[in-house]
Structure 1
């Protein structure tokens, strides 16, 4: 499922968002119940949880009334699939028991697991908002997972099931980062720093909540069950420029020279101060260097996660020209079951060869059928994208018994 920032923000325009809200203030956008239906569902959650080997006590967490459930209480040590390493992996029965007691389920780093989840991340990344990672939060009525806190990234909360009430506080930490300086702050500090209540927002299915980095908030499920996907948009920082400069100064002799020796005299201190000023001035020059700016521009422009893009048949030259990796998303898939079937021309007409009985085709349908039959497996979305002028082709292929649902 592909999505754009405009679709994510609708009915608000991206221009209004960047002018009034981005990195400035929270935003709650109401949406139709089906707006994020393709992102995640209860069936999709169960399907993900059934991928038991991908989950550990770090990727699947349980939290009850603000306190994490110890891994030993819902996991058992299992041998990893690719090594002799022992990992703590969730046990279905134990997870079930904690869920019945009201524990929230947190599924971390899920943005590459389905096309629907990836679609929102890609919308944020395509808009230049940084690396977009996603966690799923499943909560039950009257049980709060986390107390008041801030995040070290922008938060885009997409409500996909139920309702959740959010307390948005007036306090905002000044552009915190994921570093012990900020992670070591106590809950007592957060309670004092969050300030007064700014707004209480109820997210309903289809709603979106944006919180700038550092904004204090907490949430509580209002409906019997609530599911939201929290996308963390990690923007490139000024500190990243220092990393680029750190690599650049390797080629500058001034930075490779030893600093003035210190013997406690005023002259030695002055020499060190003077050298530091010279190096600072050189850094200022390097910040304007075209090559440094070229590297910085490329770094910011490509600041996103690698996600998807696999196409094994295409890499081998076995896929028809025009087929794209990742097409189809969650669209139903169909597999060709009649080897050698193809459309053929009989006089001025086209029919399907290999079918039990002749099936007439229009010229656009014949072209679409040849494309689909050559692929071996096709989705409705792929066929519609490649041949929009022949919408009835897949139905005719199914009618002829040439393809079946995969």
Structure 2
């Protein structure tokens, strides 16, 4: 079955928004559910809440693996779709789903046998919190195959520019789980276990809906090791890139903690706002993945370049809008998170950096999406490693050595983002990322 893709130069901002907005809702669904889950469990007491924090950290890492699968699948599927071969685009989803299912089963088995040791490690030793976290993890991990299947499903459906089904397949299970969680925790008397059951049910149902969508496509469902191997290479590069990010932000928190409780509290406020705006801008990057991949798959190099410029401009404009809002909220927002005057004072040290980063970050996130859609992931991996280990990490540890405080840490983050911006713009200008055809 073939597909017809409009020329990339005909893609309007409205079309980009039509892909980005549903992606944003899907991206936000899981964090919003986690907030509901936390609120429900929080009323059980200190130990269950701490156990949820420990267990939730592990499942967040599993969700991160899912993001890698989704991003890698979107670019490959979009290229096939742009080349006029919808069946081949969906077939990429089949292989990604086999990969996701295998990884999810491995996670579930690993946690079944090693969940106790993992919980004790994260909880700082044996005790009530570690025991409760291990019990929560063993049940919640049963949803890992569904969680990763849903990620693969999001990837191939975005690749064929279907935004309706991912929205339904993610929102409906999460809404069901949000209703189940308080019922299982309180009236059913399951306590913390009820939270884990609600998680596993939602993730399994979501994964099942995406798997059923593949079956309805009526294409071959057998695994193809060669294609899975190609997807693993792409996923490896994205994982390494993600590890560089994690190392950078964990180090930044560690350095902030050395400046005192007020500094690390203010850093947490600012960095969570940064992550929130990044989540919103990531939706634009997802639209770029699908559209640029389709343009290159269709052999439309000029159109891909046009899309890259347009998406970068939109990312910058969204960043400017966030900068204005964050600047206007300087006197109010920190007080919503903390009543401690020292924390609010320290937040004001980070605030100008946070505001200045928004337009720069908007362009960077958009261009990340362009290069992922183009399959230029190795360049992104190398760039992130160089910017993190050659810029961000030395800068923040220098800030510690010279006692520069929170401002020094955020100057390091700004350096990290600026280095990426310069390198991405140079890559964009070089055209080395523009490789046409159904596969890269």
Higher strand share: 1
Query: Same fold per TM (> 0.5)?
Result: no
Aligning the two structures, in what range does the TM-score lie when normalised by the shorter sequence? under 0.3
TM-score by length of 1: 0.23
Higher helix share: 2
User: Which of the pair has more CA radius of gyration?
Assistant: 1
TM-score by length of 2: 0.22
